[in-house]
Amino acid sequence: MRRIESMRQTALIVEDDPGTRHLLSSTLASAGIESLHAPTGAAMWQQLEQAPSIVILDLSLPDGDGLELLRQLRQTSDVPVLIHTTRSNEIERIIGIEIGADDFLPKPCNLRELLARVRALLRRTQRSTPMSRGDLRRLHFGEWTLDTASRELTHTDHPPATLGVSGYALLLAFLEHPFETLSRETLSRVLKREYMPYDRIIDVHVSQIRRTLGKQADGSSFIKTLRSQGYVFVADVETRH
């Protein structure tokens, strides 16, 4: 049987500049990652039919805004998305993560860093070995259940919630360590990111998880912020196999 790590990995590069597309394709090819190209938003929807492993998305496209494309994409797909754009102000970075991006890199960037981010996202979505029976769990907290087999988060009264690969990884870390303080550095390692004290990616992802989960029965948040320390998940978690 063919092992999962040998499966074809493909990046869909949504970018209107031919030079940038070529540069990204060459960088990804050095790691054995194939590329699909989409110079417009319309072309992106066509190429998504090829089921790429990851999307590298520019926000400034000739036929539309990348953030709106991302918003629409998240209604139908949880494919990992890395935003790569010249529009790098803090507000757009936060908005991008909040509406479903998994990572954000401004242009120009170090291509080795971009490749590292892409590979980290791919590792989060593809298991190198089949999950053992002991790894297949349902984690219950409040009215929520996280199924580690399907990576689905469900509520007793609502349809399944969308987490994205980064949101799933962080929530799983919290559920595996309830009532333990997890620093931003620790959570950066969960996402296989280099820790940078002023990088707000972790904070934005945690805020998004909070919004998804809502409040506990007593009106408190599931995730508490500890100033200068990090975050702590403050609810009982029951594990069932």
Partners of 65 in the β-ladder: 60
pLDDT at 129: 41
The verdict on whether omega for the bond into residue 39 sits within 30 degrees of 0, i.e. cis, is no
Residues 228, 162 share a domain: yes
pLDDT at 127: 52
**Number of structural domains found in the chain:** 2
CATH value at residue 24: 3.40.50.2300
Q: What's the rounded Cα separation, in Å, for the pair 197 and 47?
A: 37
Mean pLDDT by 10 residues, the chain (241 residues): 56 94 94 95 94 93 91 86 84 81 85 90 65 67 90 85 83 94 90 73 88 90 92 92 66
Residues 192, 108 share a domain: no
Q: In this structure, is residue 51 part of a structural domain?
A: yes
pLDDT at 7: 65
pLDDT at 12: 97
pLDDT at 126: 66
Residue 69, both tokens = 């494309």
If one counts every other C-beta atom within 10 angstroms of the C-beta of residue 118, the result is: 25
What is the extent of the structural domain holding 37? 7-125
Q: Of 52, 44, 90, 50, nearest to 70 (Cα)?
A: 44
Which regions of the chain does DSSP assign to beta strands (E)? Answer: 10-14, 34-38, 54-57, 60-61, 64-65, 81-85, 103-106, 138-141, 144-147, 152-155, 158-161, 181-182, 223-226, 230-233, 238-240
Q: In this structure, is residue 193 part of a structural domain?
A: yes
Q: What's the rounded Cα separation, in Å, for the pair 36 and 79?
A: 14
Length of the chain as a residue count: 241
User: SS3 of 106, please?
Assistant: strand
- Residue finishing a domain among 69, 99, 125: 125
